[in-house]
Amino acid sequence: MAQLMTPGEPMRYVLPANGRTFTLTELQTFVGGYIEYVRLASGHVLVINEEGKLLRLALNPEATVLAAPRIAPDVIVGPALLCSSVEAGS
């Protein structure tokens, strides 16, 4: 089960439609555009909007904290989906 973190909204749990792996369309719908993977030390994947900063999406503090060891001093903006590599299809 993946966690969708959207700035200004409560975190919610989501499942792939097929019960195992999200499709590209599902991932793009969650993040609102082209996707980018941030691989975390835990083995999980954070799926984010590749163009989030260009689109001036809102800062996502929760996702930024999770990704900090991999991206510091950068930040995550917009919706972020925390999922397993199997769910992400990566």
| Burial (Cβ within 10 Å: 0-12, 13-18, ≥19) of residue 12 | exposed
31 pLDDT band (50/70/90 cuts)? very high
Is residue 15 within 8 A of residue 86, CB to CB? The reply is: no
Instruction: Write down the pTM of the prediction.
Output: 0.94
Residue 10 has pLDDT above 90, yes or no: yes
Average pLDDT across the chain, whole number: 96
Give residue 12's identity as a one-letter amino acid code.
Answer: R
Q: Mean of the pLDDT values across residues 5-15?
A: 97
pLDDT in tens, 37-53: 999 999 999 999 999 99
Give the confidence band of 70 by pLDDT, cuts at 50, 70, 90.
Answer: confident
- Domain chopping of the chain, boundaries: 2-88
* Ramachandran category for residue 16: left, alpha or beta (phi over 0 → left; psi -120 to 50 → alpha): beta
